[in-house]
Amino acid sequence: MDRFTKLAGLVVLGACFATSPASAAGGKSPLADPSGIDLDNVASLQRGAANYMNYCSGCHSAEYVRFSTIGKMLELSDEQLIDNLMFNADKTFETINAAMPHADAERWFGQAPPDLSLMARSKGADHIYNFLRGYYVDPDSPTGVDNVVLAGTSMPHVLWELQGFQKANFEQHENEDGSVTMEFEGFEMLSAGSMDAEAYDEFVRDTTNFLAFIAEPVRQDRRKIGVWVLIFLLFFLVIAAQLKKEIWKDVK
Ligand code: HEC
């Protein structure tokens, strides 16, 4: 392989990483704050699970995750699961189904709310974090709000009681070719919700953390096993090296 082919290969490889969903979502959005989630923080995940069941599971399903998995990973007993999280399921091995029938949801919102099991993997945690913080009042929209992260979204501002309503300021920017684009400048609070900005961000962070957790519940186990595999490989390397020495010692 000559140097040019090698270089071209590296460029292509780089391009693959550059367009992975997480970075693509983070780069383009006008609101691109890091979510700051922590998958090791079990208390945050427990709060996120409660937030999810209270505010999201009415419309969204999470069909690829069972309550029993959540209970095991989040250190919740069956009683705690049943009392606090399982509003629309009887058995802990059930998956999280939306309370709202799919066909009705599609008719009401124009588009059925997507399943959220793998959302954090397809769009990235930062995207969800900013999406839930990106609502602003827009009288022209059927839901009364729009979103700077997902313009024209059909999801209503379901957390308005907590966040309140905000106004988005846009500024006109003239491009070099003479066309005009509106650029997002920032939010202004119109009416306060029950939480201040910091508490609301924390609420959204916990919820996002939970969605990142259900996107790959075995992540923590996978990491623990990975460490043991590496230790084994190192140990085996020593044995293999000794063995090679022994076998080849007479061949010179
Ligand atoms: C009233 C029903 C309803 C509730 C409650 C609801 N959603 Fe949604 N959600 C929708 C609909 C409808 C869409 C599809 C929106 C679209 O693509 O424009 C959606 C889309 C989404 C998306 C995808 C956004 C994207 O970029 O494609 C995410 C993430 C999401 N919702 C998260 C949540 C979370 C987290 C909650 C709970 C805090 C929640 N939703 C509560 C109706 C709802």
pLDDT band at 168 (very low <50, low <70, confident <90, very high): very high
* pLDDT on residue 21: 47
CA distance 250 to 252: 6
Q: Inform me whether the pLDDT recorded for 6 exceeds 50.
A: yes
**Tokens 């990491």 label which residue?**
223
pLDDT band at 7 (very low <50, low <70, confident <90, very high): low
- For ligand 1, atom 14: residue with the closest CA: 113
For a pocket test of ligand 1, which of 155, 201, 203, 207 has the largest count of ligand atoms closer than 8 A to its C-beta?
155
Mean of all residue pLDDT scores within the chain: 89
CA distance 70 to 117: 12
The per-residue pLDDT for range 90-143, each reduced to its tens digit, is 889 899 988 888 888 888 888 889 999 999 999 999 999 999 999 999 999 999
* pLDDT on residue 17: 58
* pLDDT on residue 4: 65
Structure tokens that stand for 157 in this block: 């501002």
Contacts of 185 (CB under 8 A, 6+ apart): 168, 169, 170, 171
The per-residue pLDDT for range 228-251, each reduced to its tens digit, is 999 999 999 999 999 999 999 988
What does the angle CA 36 – CA 54 – CA 38 come to, to the nearest 5 degrees? Answer: 15
CA of 82 to the centre of ligand 1 (A): 25
- pLDDT above 90 coverage of the chain, percent: 67
Half-sphere exposure of 34 (CA within 13 A, CB side): 3
* pLDDT on residue 98: 87
* pLDDT on residue 100: 85
Residues 208/128, Cβ–Cβ less than 8 Å: yes
Q: List residues near ligand 1 (CB under 6 A).
A: 55-56, 58-60, 109, 111, 113-114, 116, 119, 123, 128, 131-132, 150, 153-156, 158-159, 207
CA of 146 to the centre of ligand 1 (A): 12
CA of 155 to the centre of ligand 1 (A): 5
* pLDDT on residue 30: 77
Contacts of 74 (CB under 8 A, 6+ apart): 42, 45, 46, 49
Top-confidence residue, 165 or 100: 165
- For ligand 1, atom 8: residue with the closest CA: 155
The per-residue pLDDT for range 41-97, each reduced to its tens digit, is 999 999 999 999 999 999 999 999 999 999 999 999 999 999 889 987 888 989 998
The per-residue pLDDT for range 172-216, each reduced to its tens digit, is 888 888 888 888 999 999 999 999 999 999 999 999 999 999 999
